[in-house]
Amino acid sequence: NRYSSVKSTFCQSCLVQRRWVCAHCCRSASLSLLRTATVTYAQSLLGAPETRLTALDNGLRIASEETGHSTCTVGLWIGCGSRYETEKNNGAGFFLEHMAFKGTKKHTQMALEQQVESMGAHLSAYTSREHTAYYMKTLAKDLPKAVELLSEVVQSNALSEADIEQQRNVVLRELEEVEGSLQDVCLDLLHATAFQGTPLGHSVLGPSQNARTLSRQDLVDFIRSHYKAPRMVLAAAGGVTHEELVGLAKQHFSGVSFEYEDDAVPVLSPCRFSGSEIRMRDDDIPLAHIAIAVEGASATSPDIVPLMVANSIIGSYDITFGGGKHLSSRLARLASEESLCHSFQAFHSSYSDTGLLGIYFVTDKHHIDDMMHWSQNAWMNLCTTVTESDVARAKNALKASLVGQLDGTTPICDDIGRHVLNYGRRIPLAEWDARIDAVTPRMVRDVCSKYIYDKCPAVSAVGPVEQLPDYNRIRSAMYWLRF
C-alpha cells in the first residue's frame, strides 16, 4: 500500500500488471522527461521559425514568421519618415498617422472602428525618422479582414477637411504634451544640433506652425511621393501561413504604384554630423537632462555590433536600482556610490547612412560637471582598457536584451518590417548571436577609438544647466581623458 500514493497507467519496472506506480519511479520518469526536453541556448536560436520573404511584381515585399500562436500581428512598414520631409511639410507623416483611422473611402470612422472592435483587434501606427508603420494585432483567423482594413487605411484614406481640422487640434495638444517629456525634448534637440541643416535634424512631430498650416493637398502630395510599393513591406508574425499572406497581398496591394510622377524618385541626401551644442536653461526645472553623442555607425555598418557591445559595457542606471557598488557597469557603480545622477543610459540610434552614439543622463545641478567627466571617462575606457571579462559580461547582457525584446507577435512583426527595409532581409537571432560572439576586446577598443577618440561631440541640455562645462572643455576632454 505504500506504493499507492501516486496513480499511473502502468509500471512494468515496479509492480507488473498493476495500475499503480511508486513515487520514486514517478520522479525518475519526470526527471528523464525534463532532461530529454532541455535544449541549449544556441539550439533554441537555430530552432526559431524561419522568416520567409516574397516580392510582388510591383516591388512590394511580403515577410512572415509562423509561430503557431492563436493570434497574429500584421502590418505595413513603409520606408518614409521625417527624414523625407522638408521644412515646409515637416510633420506630415505624423499628421497622416493621426488621420489613418478617421475613415476611408469605403468605411466611415465609426464603421472602421466597429469592424476593428468586432474582431477584438488592436489597430495602431507609429512614425519615426525613417519609417512609418500601420499594424493590427488580431486573432489568426481574422488575418484576411485585417489585411483588407490595412490596405484601405493606407490606400484609400478619406482625408476629409473636417477630420483634418479636428486632428489639427489633437496634434497641437500632443505637441504640448511632448514638451513635458524632457527626455524627448533633450534627444530631439540633440538631433537638431548634431544634424543641423539636414533632414535628420527634423523632429518627427514637426513644429507647431506646420501643424497649424498643413493642408489636405500637402498630405496627398506626401502620400503620392512616398507611399510606393518598393518602399513597403507587408509583415506578419504569429498564427499565419506565408502562402495565405502572399495571396492576400496580391489581392489588396497589387495596385499600389511603383512609378513616380515625372520620374522624380526621391534620393536621400547625406546628413552631415556637426559637433556642436544647444542649451535650454530653465532653473525652475528640478533636474538637468543632458545628452552627449558622437557620430555613430549606420544600420548596415560592420561596426554596429562592436558598438552595441561597447554600449552594453557602459549599460544603464536608475536611482531605484539595487546593487550599489556591486553593479556590473563601472559607471553605474560610480553613479550609485557618488550620487552622480538619478539615471543614465547609453544609446546608439542608427540610420541608413549614419548614427548617434551617446549617453543620456539626468542629474541635479551640482553634479553635472562630475557626471559629464565620468561619462567621457567611460568612453575613453572603451578605447583603452576594455578587458575580456567586460566584453563577456556585455555580450551576455546584449544577447539577453535582443531575445527579451521579441516577447510577442507585435515586436517580432516590427523587427521583421524594419529589418527588411534596412537590410533587405530579416537577420535571424542565430546570426546576431554569432556576430556578437565574434567581438573581441581588441575589436571594441579599435572601433571605439575610431568613433569616439578625439571626435567633436554634439551636446544638448535642458533644465538648470549653468554648471554644464563649456563646449570647448567638453571637446578637449575627448582627447586628454585618454592619457
Which residues are within 8 A (CB) of 183 and not within 5 positions of it... i.e. 6 or more apart? 289, 360, 362
Q: How far apart are CA 446 and CA 453, in angstroms?
A: 10
Written as one string, the DSSP assignment of 71-87 is EEEEEEEES-SGGG--T
Of 474, 394, 482, which is closest to residue 441 (Cα–Cα)?
394
Decide if 121 contacts 58 (C-beta within 8 A): no
Residue 179 host element (H or E): helix 161-179
Q: How far apart are CA 61 and CA 75, in angstroms?
A: 12
All three cell numbers of 323: 546593487
3-state secondary structure of 305: helix
Q: State the residue for C-alpha cell 531605484.
A: 320
Q: Let me know if 97 is a catalytic residue.
A: yes
Q: How far apart are CA 130 and CA 81, in angstroms?
A: 4
All three cell numbers of 236: 506578419
Rg of the chain (C-alpha set) = 27
**Active-site residue identified among 65, 66, 85, 97:** 97
Q: State the residue for C-alpha cell 555590433.
A: 305
Which residues are within 8 A (CB) of 352 and not within 5 positions of it... i.e. 6 or more apart? 130, 268, 298, 299, 300, 422
Q: State the residue for C-alpha cell 553593479.
A: 327
Active site (catalytic) residues: 97
